[in-house]
Structure 1
Amino acid sequence: METAGDFVVSLLAGGLSGVCVDLTLFPLDTLKTRLQSASGFLAAGGFRGVYSGILSAAVGSFPTGAVFFITYEMTKTMLRSSPPAHMIAASVGEVVACVVKVPVEVVKQRAQACCEMSTRQAFVFTLQQEGILGFYRGFKSTAAREVPFSLVQFPLWEFLKKYWSGKQGRAVDPWQGAVCGALSGGFAAALTTPLDVAKTRIMLAEAQSDTAVGNVLPVIVNVYKTQGVPGLFAGILPRVLWIGVGGFIFLGSYQKLGQLLQIHTSRHRASTNLSTGISPQ
C-alpha cells in the first residue's frame, strides 16, 4: 500500500523532475512549436525569443509532474506492477495531469508562436477572447496525444530497466534508468508526432475556426492534404531530442530523487522510533 511518505516522495520527486526538464530544454520546445505552427516557422518567430512563454512552464511544471507521478505510482500500486498495469497507470496519470498541463500549454504555446506576446499577455488574451474554457481548448487532443505516448513510453521504460537489471544481476542505477527513459521517450515521441502536430494546431487556431473545435482526426487529415507526410511529422527532430533528453533527465532524476527522499524518510522514521522507544518493524 502507498504510505503518506511514498505520497510525498512521488509529489516532490515528480514535481522537481518536471521543473528540471521544462526549464532546461525549453528552447527545443519552442522550436518544435514554431515548426508545427500553421503560420510557418519563420512567421511564428524562427530562432528569435526562444524563451518566450517560459514563465508559464516555470509555474506549471512542478504541479504537472507531481500530479502525474502521484497518480502513476498510486494506480500502479493498486493494479500491482505488471506491463498492463504500467500502461493503465501511465494513461490515467497523463489524463489527470492534463487538468494542470493543458492551461499551461495553451498559454505557453501562444507565447512561443508569437514571441512579441509575453506570458501575461497570452494569459489575458485567452481569458478575454474565450474565458476560462479557452484555457482548456485542446484538452481532447492533448489527452489523445498523451495516452498513446504513455502506452509506448512507460511499459518500454519499465521493460528496459527490468532487462538491464536482469543482465547485471541487480537493480539499475539512476543513470541507467535515465538512459532507458531517453530511449523509451524518444521512440514514443517519434511515433506520436502527428498527434502532437494536431494538438499544436488546435491550441494556436483562431477562436471559432473549424480547427479550434478540437477534433483531432479532421486536423490530421487537413495537415496531410495540405502538407503531406512531412507536415504530419513537422518538428519531429526537436521533439525527439526534447523528449529523449527530457526522458533522461525526468525519469533519471525522478528515480534518484525518489531514492534520496526515501533514504531521508527512512532515517527520519528510524530516528523517531528511537526517540519514542518504538522498535523498527
Structure 2
Amino acid sequence: MVDFYFLFASSVAALVARFITFPLDTIKVRLQTDSGGHRYSRLLKDGERESFFEKVVSLYRGLGITLVFSVPALTTYLIVYTSVKVFLGSLALPILREDALLNHAISGLCAESSAGLFFTPMEVLKSQLQVDTCHQSTLTLATHIIKEEGILGFYKGYFITLSVFVPHSVVYFILYEKLKSTWDVQHQTFLVYVFCAAVASAAGMIVSTPLDIIKTRWQVSRQEEAYRGGPVKIALRIWRYEGGLGIFVRSMLASIVWGVPLTTINMTVFECLLKLHRPN
C-alpha cells in the first residue's frame, strides 16, 4: 500500500509544480479556447486596461481551487493506482505483471476514474476562471453552475477527461520508467530525473492534446451555448471553422511548454524527497 511519506512527497511535489507553472497553464487554456482569435483578442483588450500587477495576478486565476482539489485528487489516484497495480500483479498472469502495459492501462483507468471525482470539478472551475473576463470569484462561479446546470455541471467532460489522461499516464509512466532504468540507481541524479520526466511528458502531451482541447472547450462552455451538443460537435466545429489541424498544432506546442516543466518539476521534487527519506 501507499505509505504516508509517499503521499506527503507526492502532494508537496504536485503543489510546488502547480504553483510555479500555473501561468503557463492559464495561457494554454486561453489558447485552447480561442475561437478564431475572438476570445483571445477580448482578453488582450481587457489586459490593456490592467496594470502589470493585475496582469500577473490574472494568470493565477483559479490557482486556489486547484491547490484545494489537487491533494485529495492525487491521494486518491496514487492509492487506487498502487492498489490495483499490486492486485493485478499478484494474479500471476504474465500479461498482468506489474511492469506490463496492460497493467499500467487498467491501473491508470481505475485511478483516473476515482480521482476524476475531484479532478473534473477542479478542471471545470479552474478553466472557467482562467478565461473569465468578469473577474468573478470561485464561489460566485460555483453558485452559477449549480443554479444553471445543477451538480452535474461540475462533472462536464468527466468521461472525455478519462480519454485524455489515461493514454497520457500510460505513455508517460512507461517511458519514464524505461528511460530511468537505463541508469543504475546510484547514478540517478537530479539531471537524470529532469531528462526522463521532460521526454516522457512531451510524448504524453503529443498523445493527449487533441482530446484535451475538446475537453477544455466543453468544460468552459455555458449551458446555453452550442457546445452542449458534446465533444463530437466541438471537434467538428474546430475542424470546419477554426483551421482544424492548425489549432491542434498550436495547442500542442502550448501544452508541451506547460506540461514539460510541470511534470519535470513534479517528478524531480518527488524523487528528491524520496531520496532524502530513503537515501539508500
TM range (shorter): 0.7 to 0.9
- Partner residue in 2 for 1:83: 100
Taking a change above 3 Å as real, the CA distance of residues 261 and 218 of structure 1, as seen in their structure-2 partners, is: farther
Q: Is this contact kept in 2: 1:193–1:236, CA < 8 A?
A: yes
Taking a change above 3 Å as real, the CA distance of residues 174 and 118 of structure 1, as seen in their structure-2 partners, is: same
Rounded to whole Å, the distance in 2 between the matches of 1:143 and 1:233 is 22
Q: Does 1:32 align with 2:24?
A: no
Rounded to whole Å, the distance in 2 between the matches of 1:169 and 1:30 is 36
- SS, match of residue 41 in structure 2: coil
Taking a change above 3 Å as real, the CA distance of residues 169 and 199 of structure 1, as seen in their structure-2 partners, is: closer
Taking a change above 3 Å as real, the CA distance of residues 10 and 210 of structure 1, as seen in their structure-2 partners, is: farther
Q: CA deviation at 1:121?
A: 2.2
- Partner residue in 2 for 1:222: 237
Rounded to whole Å, the distance in 2 between the matches of 1:242 and 1:78 is 34
> Structure 1 residues 103-112 or 70-79, which shifts more?
70-79
- SS, match of residue 187 in structure 1: helix
Q: Does 1:41 align with 2:40?
A: yes
| Percent of aligned pairs sharing the same letter | 25
Taking a change above 3 Å as real, the CA distance of residues 262 and 126 of structure 1, as seen in their structure-2 partners, is: farther
- SS, match of residue 104 in structure 2: helix
- SS, match of residue 51 in structure 1: coil
Q: Deviations over 1:164-187 (max 9, x none)?
A: 22xx47563454234211211122
Q: Does 1:188 align with 2:204?
A: yes
> Structure 1 residues 238-247 or 85-94, which shifts more?
85-94
Q: Is this contact kept in 2: 1:13–1:66, CA < 8 A?
A: no
Q: Does 1:243 align with 2:259?
A: yes
Rounded to whole Å, the distance in 2 between the matches of 1:257 and 1:95 is 27
- Partner residue in 1 for 2:152: 133
| Counterpart code for 1:83 | A
- Give the alignment of 1:19-168 within 5 angstroms: 19-37=15-33, 38=35, 39-44=38-43, 48=55, 49-80=58-89, 81-84=98-101, 85-115=103-133, 116-162=135-181, 164-165=182-183, 168=184
- SS, match of residue 42 in structure 1: helix
Could you tell me which runs of 5 or more consecutive residues in structure 1 were left unpaired when the two chains were aligned: 267-281
- Partner residue in 2 for 1:211: 227
Taking a change above 3 Å as real, the CA distance of residues 253 and 77 of structure 1, as seen in their structure-2 partners, is: farther
Taking a change above 3 Å as real, the CA distance of residues 57 and 32 of structure 1, as seen in their structure-2 partners, is: same
| Counterpart code for 1:248 | T
TM-score by length of structure 2 reads: 0.82
Rounded to whole Å, the distance in 2 between the matches of 1:169 and 1:248 is 18
**Count of aligned positions:** 256
- SS, match of residue 223 in structure 2: coil
